[in-house]
Each structure stands twice: as structure tokens, then as C-alpha cells.
Amino acid sequence: MSNRAIARMLDILPHTGAERWPHEATELMNRLVAQLEIIATTTDLGPSAFVLGHNGYKESQQILEVFEGGSYNRVAWLCVQAAMTASGSGGQSSYSWCAHLTWDITPKPDSRQATRIVENANWDDFKQIRLAYESGELTDSTPIHPDDLGPLWPKGPADWSGFEWKDLEAERLEQERATKEHEELRERVLGSLVARSELLKQPIIDAIDNISRFHGGKYRQGFWAEAEQPTQKWPAALRHPSSPFLQDLQDLFSVHEWGGLLILEGQLDASVWFVAPTDMSAAKKMLLEWDSALDCFDPEAIEETNRISESNGWEADAKLAPCSKRDFLVFATVHESPDSFLVVTKGSVAGKVFYFDHETGIDFDQPIADSLAGWIHTIADPSHDWLWFEE
């Protein structure tokens, strides 16, 4: 499986616009693939089952230094090094790199399509081996030649030329610019944060004040003093609230443009940041770039997740989201992680708040709160570990 995953990786790589690997890298890669074929087709594994030669690994380290940080080729070569163990981790690393590579396509619908192509191909390999093993046709020591698993792309060769790949250098420069801008903003507003406004509803004021009591005065709260963004640029669901929670959010952002909860004294890093209304669309877009979030809105992904669960003897409990991708707002983020909080604006769970964990997704069976004060009380509870409390 490691051999096959690497073959798929090499099949995609020429279409990314990456430069050709230097001769010594290609030579070592060919030796690696040849060694993996030997491991796959013989029961006399010897030490090569664990490391494909000490000298070969040293060579790969030298080659790694040739590739620029953040480039496709460097990521690919790190994966090649992992595959040199020729074990389960090698196959997993190669597969992960394939998934990473196919996700770096724009626009996102094509990216998702490319990811599915790779996932389905790897899943087909796993399924064939697993079924043969469970039926008694294979044992742990049965050699399997990679060609025995059938075509590399079960649904036919993928035409990667039809996909548009990201400009990594432009993306890196934009990320550097955004980071610098973010740091400058943090410094500028540090002295302009206010504890809170007396104009907020009393239950929300009480909830904010109660945070310090939860944590013995260790944390403070801070808000940008004035809300200057025009409300006509807010999301429609926030301009015309249809639930108590959305009304609370509208009241908050009418006073403060954004703010943070659970900020250590002398620092600006909050455990939770409110998202400014004009940034909510961008925050949602970032959330939906994670498969763990997007899959719950995708019937095909739900079906595939349940199929994998059943094949492993687990309960097939994945369910479609009770709302569409349009019908929620991301109103707060956790520290500097991808994790965030969202409120549903329409449907059977409208007005309820949910937590997005970038590793596990969104559990729409577990609402966190249905009021802003209730949400603040919940996140301030030190028994929760999703806020990365600094002890």
C-alpha cells in the first residue's frame, strides 16, 4: 500500500507546476520504489522491512535541504522519507501527502473532487486487502505484488490537467502580509481595550463578570471600544435576528466591533475571540475548508464515513447536518486555532450554538447554548478543555 500511495503521489506531482526533482532525488526514489516492490513480493523481509538502508536515508536528508521550505517538493520528499520505513506509517504518510496535495487546488469544489479521487483509490486498495484477509485468502506474511490490486485509479486514470493548482509562493507572501498586519493590529489595540460596556444586557454583563470568579481573577476580558463598521455590511441574519442568541449578538456588536474573553493579564492572546460581523463570511469560509466540517453537509461523505465505520465493526452513526452551509454564522474562534463556535440561523436547531473541532467536526446533537449569556457561562467553565486554558 505504501508503494501504491507513492505511485499515486508521483502521478499527481507533474501537474502541480513543481520543478523536476534533481537527478539524485529521482535515482533514490527509484531505488525506494524498487525496494518496496521487493518487500511486497517476498516473505524474506530482513532488515529492509524497517529502514531502507542507512546510507539511503542519509542521502534523502541531503536531498531534503535542496527543496525550499513550504514547497510541494519539500512536502513530498518528507513523505518519501517517512515511506522509507516501509511500514504502516509509510503508507499512511504517503496517503496523507496525496490528500494534502489534492486539497491545494482552486476552486474548492475541484479540490474536493480531487481529494475524493485519491481517497477512493486508496480505499479500494485497503478494501481488497481487508476482504481477502478476512476470507482467509491472506495471512500476515502473504506477499502481494502491487499490480495484484488492479489499476492505480479504479475509475480510470485521473485527468489532473483539468485542475487549477494554487500559487504557493503568492499564498506564502499573502500569509506573511496578513500575519504582519495582524501583529500590528494587536499592538495598536492593546491599550484601547475596555473591560465591557454597561450598555449590554444585564445577563450578559453578569456572565462576563462571572468569568473572573470562575478562575480566581486570573483572566480579564477586553473589547474594542467602539463599533465603527456599518451595519449594512453585516450578514442578513445578524441585521434581522430571528432568535434570542442572534439578538444578543446584534446588541453586542452594536456596542463593540469585536473582543476577547479569558485574556491573561499583560497579554492580548484570548482563549476566545469574537469575530467582527464583516469578517464572519471569511471565518465561515475557513471553517468549510476543513473536511471535518464540510463532510456533515455532504451525503456522499456521510455514506463513505458510515461504510468505513461498518467495515471496522463500529456503529455507523454519521448523520447529515440539520441545516445547510448557508444557515449558520461563525461568531467566535478559539485562541489561534481553526476551532470555532457557530450559531445556526435557520432550521430545526435555529438559535442554538455548536462547537467546531477541526479534528472531529461539528456534533449537531450537542448544542452548547441558546443564549449569549449561557454560552459565556459554558466556555468559562474550567472543566471544558477546548479553550486551551493556560494553567
Cα 280 to Cα 74, 193, 223, 330: the distances in Å are 34, 21, 17, 6
Q: Closest Cα partner for 19 from 169, 162, 174? A: 169
> Is the model's pLDDT at 351 over the cut of 80?
yes
- Say if 173 falls within a structural domain: no
Same domain, 333 and 272: yes
Bridge partners of 357, per DSSP, are 361
> Residue 253 falls within a domain, yes or no?
yes
Domains: count for the chain: 2
**pLDDT at residue 391 in the model:** 42
Q: Say if 21 falls within a structural domain.
A: yes
CB 369 within 8 A of CB 353: yes
Residues 178-218: pLDDT tens digits?
888 877 766 666 556 666 566 678 888 888 877 767 666 66
- pTM for the model stands at 0.64
Same domain, 208 and 331: yes
pLDDT digits (tens, 9 = 90+) for 50-80: 455 566 777 778 888 888 776 778 877 877 7
Which residue blocks in the chain are alpha helix, DSSP H? Answer: 2-12, 23-41, 54-64, 72-83, 88-103, 108-134, 168-189, 202-214, 236-239, 244-255, 280-287, 291-294, 299-311, 372-380
Contact status, residue 168 vs residue 71, Cβ threshold 8 Å? yes
Residues 111 and 246 in one domain: no
Question: Distance between CA atoms of 352 and 138, rounded to whole angstroms?
Answer: 50
- Final residue belonging to a domain, choices 133, 166, 199: 166
Q: Within a domain: residue 81?
A: yes
In the chain, the percentage of residues whose pLDDT exceeds 90 is 18
- Considering the domain architecture, whether residues 82 and 212 belong to the same structural domain is answered as no
d(CA 142, CA 383): 49
For residue 27, pLDDT beyond 70 = yes
Query: In the prediction, which pLDDT does 343 show?
Result: 97
Confidence band of 89 (pLDDT split at 50, 70, 90): low
SS3 of residue 91 by DSSP: helix
What is the extent of the structural domain holding 60? 2-166
344 or 6, higher pLDDT: 344
The DSSP code for 226 is -
Q: Same domain, yes or no, for 88 and 154?
A: yes
Grid look-up 453585516 returns 234
Does the bond joining 107 to the residue before it have cis omega, within 30 degrees of 0?
yes
CB-CB contact of 185 with 221 (8 Å): no
> Residue 69: inside a domain, yes or no?
yes
Inside any domain, residue 174: no
Q: Give the pLDDT confidence score for residue 49 in this predicted structure.
A: 46
Q: Are residues 134 and 22 in the same domain?
A: yes
Same domain, 245 and 355: yes
Co-location of 144 and 261 in the same domain? no
Domain limit, last residue, from 166, 201, 223: 166
Residue 317 domain flag: yes
| 391 in a structural domain | no
Most confident segment among 15-19, 161-165, 278-282: 278-282
Model pLDDT for residues 356-366, shown as the tens digit of each residue: 998 888 999 99
| pLDDT for residue 127 is more than 70 | yes
**Average pLDDT rounded to a whole number, residues 88-114:** 73
**pLDDT value for 46:** 53
Together in a domain, 159 and 250: no
Helices first, then strands: H and E counts in the chain:
14, 10
Over residues 283-337, the pLDDT tens digits come to 999 899 888 888 899 898 888 888 878 877 888 888 999 999 999 999 999 887 8
Verify that 222 and 158 share a domain, yes or no. Answer: no
Q: Pick the range with the lowest mean pLDDT from 104-118, 215-229, 306-320.
A: 215-229
| One domain for residues 152 and 39 | yes
Burial class (CB in 10 A: 0-12, 13-18, 19+), 134: exposed
Residue 221 has pLDDT above 80, yes or no: no
* Nearest residue to 354 (alpha-carbon basis) of 317, 383, 322: 322
Tell me, yes or no, whether 124 and 234 share the same domain: no
Q: What would the mean pLDDT of 230-238 be, rounded to a whole number?
A: 87
Domain boundary among 166, 195, 214: 166
